[in-house]
Every structure is written in structure tokens, then in C-alpha cells.
Amino acid sequence: MNNDIKEILISKEELENKIKDLGKRITEDYKGKDLVLICVLKGAVMFMAELSKYIEVPLNMDFMAISSYGSSTKSSGVVKIIKDLDSSIEGKDVLIVEDIIDTGLTLNYLINNLKSRGVKSLKICTLLDKPDRRKVEVKVDYKGFTVPDEFVVGFGLDYNEKYRNLPHICVLKEEVYK
């Protein structure tokens, strides 16, 4: 594999099995409901694509891109919407699909923003959870894996836009990002 990669943390097979389980649980919970999956670009693209194959209820997919306002304001959790949803989510059962929750600030902003649009329900599904660095508490409804406080890439997650295509979740060597 690549020189910048320290190790494989979660293999392709482990990812597949866990995502199947999550899909089954979501299928049970959303029977007869008007489900909208919201993918937070770009990191959650692979996760949502894979997850949606195992959700056996009719659903809509929508995409949102957000970015932090810059390092000085990042800790405040003020984020900028780069691409908003295509459709209204008023009255819908909405599931946010995220790649990783770190400080929780981004998701906290997103939850408040989407709630204000009059959703019927709003739940969170994240592939990875990095609880060590949490600054604001976020209630996670569906979680894949808890990861240690290391920089992870692969399966959609990037370092400087690279490594999203790796099929496993990998740990980046510290010297690469420090």
C-alpha cells in the first residue's frame, strides 16, 4: 500500500459486515416511513452508497456539502453551506449519513440547521466515532465503529483530498500530518 499509511484499522470485510448490519437495523426502524438519506459530502459518499444497498425501504437520497469558516472560527462550529439539499425535507423522516464525528461541532450545526426546516424526525448515522476529541455532545443513533484519536483515511475519508479510494479504513502516519 501507500508509504503514508501506517496500518489498516478496519478492513474492507469488517466494513461490509458492519454496514450490512446497520442497513438491517435502519430497515426495521423505517418501515412505512418517508425516509430521506442525507449524505454529507464528500467523506460519506462511499458509506452512503454502500449502506443504501442494504436499506430495504423506499427512500430518497440528497447531498449536502459544508465547510468550516476557517481555522480561527472552527472551534465555534460555524460552518458554511457549500451545497444545499436539492429538495425540501419538511415533514420527512431524515437520516444524516456522516463519515466521522470528531469534535461534533460540524454535526451539531447541521442538526440545528436541518431541524429548523420542519423535519418529522432527524437521526444520525455515522460510520466512525472519535469520542476522545468531542467538544459538544451529539446523540448518535447508528454507529459503525469507535476509532482512537488518530488521523484515519480511506473508504471516503481523505487527507488533502487523497486516499478516499482506499477500500479499508487506514491510519495515516503521524509524520504526514504533524
Residue of 4, 29, 99, 102 marked catalytic: 102
How open is the CA angle 142-174-137, to the nearest 5 degrees?
30
Q: Is 156 in the site for Mg ion (CB under 5 A)?
A: no
Residue of 9, 35, 55, 106 that binds ligand XMP (CB under 6 A):
106
Concatenated DSSP letters of 105-132: HHHHHHHHHHHTTT-SEEEEEEEEE-GG
List 22, 26, 30, 43, residue binding Mg ion (CB under 5 A) = 43
| Nearest to ligand XMP of 24, 133 (CB atom) | 133
Q: Of 103, 111, 117, 173, which one interacts with ligand XMP (CB under 6 A)?
A: 103
Cα 100 to Cα 107: distance, rounded to the nearest angstrom: 10
Q: How many residues does the chain have?
A: 178
Q: Per CB under 5 A, does 144 bind Mg ion? A: no
List CB contacts of 120: < 8 A, sequence separation 6 or more: 34, 91, 92, 93, 94
Active site residue 141: no
Rounded to whole angstroms, the Cα distance separating 94 from 84 reads 15
Taking the complex as a whole, how short is the minimal distance between the CB of residue 39 and ligand XMP, in angstroms?
Answer: 11
Work out whether 43 is an interface residue with ligand XMP (CB under 6 A): yes
CB 157 within 8 A of CB 177: no
Q: How far is the CB of 59 from ligand XMP (least distance, A)?
A: 22
Q: Is 102 in the site for ligand XMP (CB under 6 A)?
A: yes
- Start-to-end CA distance of the chain, whole Å, equals 21
- Contact by Cβ (8 Å): 45, 62: no
Stretch that binds Mg ion, among 39-47, 107-115, 136-144, 167-175 (CB under 5 A): 39-47
Please report how close the Cβ of residue 44 comes to ligand XMP at its closest, in angstroms.
Answer: 8
When CB distances to Mg ion are compared, the closest residue is 43
By annotation, the residues acting in catalysis are 102
Instruction: Write out the residues near ligand XMP by the rule CB under 6 A.
Output: 43, 99-107, 130, 151-153, 157-158
Instruction: Write out the residues near Mg ion by the rule CB under 5 A.
Output: 43, 99
